[in-house]
Structure 1
């Protein structure tokens, strides 16, 4: 019997694949990150056992706690704003951290760069976070400064691999085509300014409520939580990031 979360993941992969094909790309062009925020490792393990390897978390403490409980070939993504004082503990505790989706200023880029160097890790893939909705409550660089921050990461942080851009979207965690279009425009600007081929550039946009539209508009990376795992559960107040 297939575990319910594994069946849910399979449905998401199929939907993402069809959306990729509608955009003229292969289904394999889109990565699905299973975001297990507030969910027990046992649920993530069901997906791992079904063959999935890419998982994401929004809180550094939760990622540090969960990572050792899944096999080493798990590819972890940290998603969202990362506090400076959490950088080195996170990188030290999670050697299989594959990507940080959320570099939103030069300071955090520099912290990550120094931590990767001091720990002797392989270069770390990062995405620059862009605030496409203009909400003050959201982390992310203003779209007008995306080239500036991308250039700093690519040229000034030798231990980081600048891989592309990401956006969280609107306050209710759904996005409009305008949010996605803003990120696509940033991509075109950054690729032109830094001489990066567009087909080698990641766009992380789209979550449970809007990922098909995001993929149709060019997303290469979608972050799916509740559609796979069910509603999030918050027994206590929001954890510190």
Structure 2
């Protein structure tokens, strides 16, 4: 309880961490001020014990793990146990972030690298995407490569995780299947991709014309 809702900016991604905790992305419910309030559960990445209680090592004594998020979507852990996150920007750029305990990712003062991003304490994204080429939602990590599924951009990005950087970024399926919502690891080193072309935004009735795609990866 206590997570505000709205027609937009609800976040909603869930991911179990290698530490056995549940991580949950929450949007700012279209109120940017919530994102900077560490006593408010909106505009955050939350970290929760399996029974719903607050982990004793959370930074603010509540379920908040990181803050300053607008509409966080994708969550994925790499082989080192680090949490990567994908976030919808407003009108300028989207972000891929490397999440740290108690980190402040700047919203609403900072969007990507625009705005007051030089403010002390704000953590810069590891990669940004123009919204016309992004609006990316789900992410997955397979063999130390990060895959990003994009809606408005109608494409999937692949980036190599090198240290704490994202390198060798490549684009796949640009416009081939339309809007891509989610990418997840599939058995045998493959990926699942889901489309999101009709009805996801405004509750279009009889919305069944979507697909789940299986993508085979190279060695």
> TM-score, structure 2 length as denominator?
0.31
Q: Which has the larger share of strand?
A: 2
User: Where is the helix percentage greater, Structure 1 or Structure 2?
Assistant: 1
